[in-house]
């Protein structure tokens, strides 16, 4: 049972205004804020994967892009 009415039961894309199902995990890290091993994640649908990857990539934050069903959260993240 979902206790929070606004909490999605299916992971959704992190792009602003998108409600599509997530297909990709974009692992990133801001070296000014996070330790090197720390990984934050954004989720992306097929349509927004490239845009979100570029946004993180130009800032030097993007570390990995993995299919959602293959993602394993690193220990200690």
C-alpha span between 17 and 33 (Å, rounded):
26
Asked if residue 7 has pLDDT above 80, the reply is no
Longest CA–CA span in the chain (Å) reads 40
Asked if residue 9 has pLDDT above 80, the reply is no
Mean pLDDT, residues 4-8:
54
Q: Cα 77 to the chain's mean position, in Å?
A: 13
Residue range 34-55, pLDDT digits in tens: 999 999 999 999 999 999 999 9
User: pTM for this one?
Assistant: 0.81
H/E element, 40: strand 40-44
pLDDT of residue 10: 86
């Amino acid at each position: 049972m979902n206790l929070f009415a606004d909490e999605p039961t299916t992971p959704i894309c992190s792009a602003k205004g998108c409600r599509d199902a997530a297909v990709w995990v974009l692992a990133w890290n801001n070296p000014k804020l996070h330790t090197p091993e720390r990984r934050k994640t954004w989720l992306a649908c097929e349509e927004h994967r490239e845009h979100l990857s570029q946004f993180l990539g130009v800032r030097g934050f993007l570390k990995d892009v993995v299919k959602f069903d293959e993602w394993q959260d690193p220990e200690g993240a």
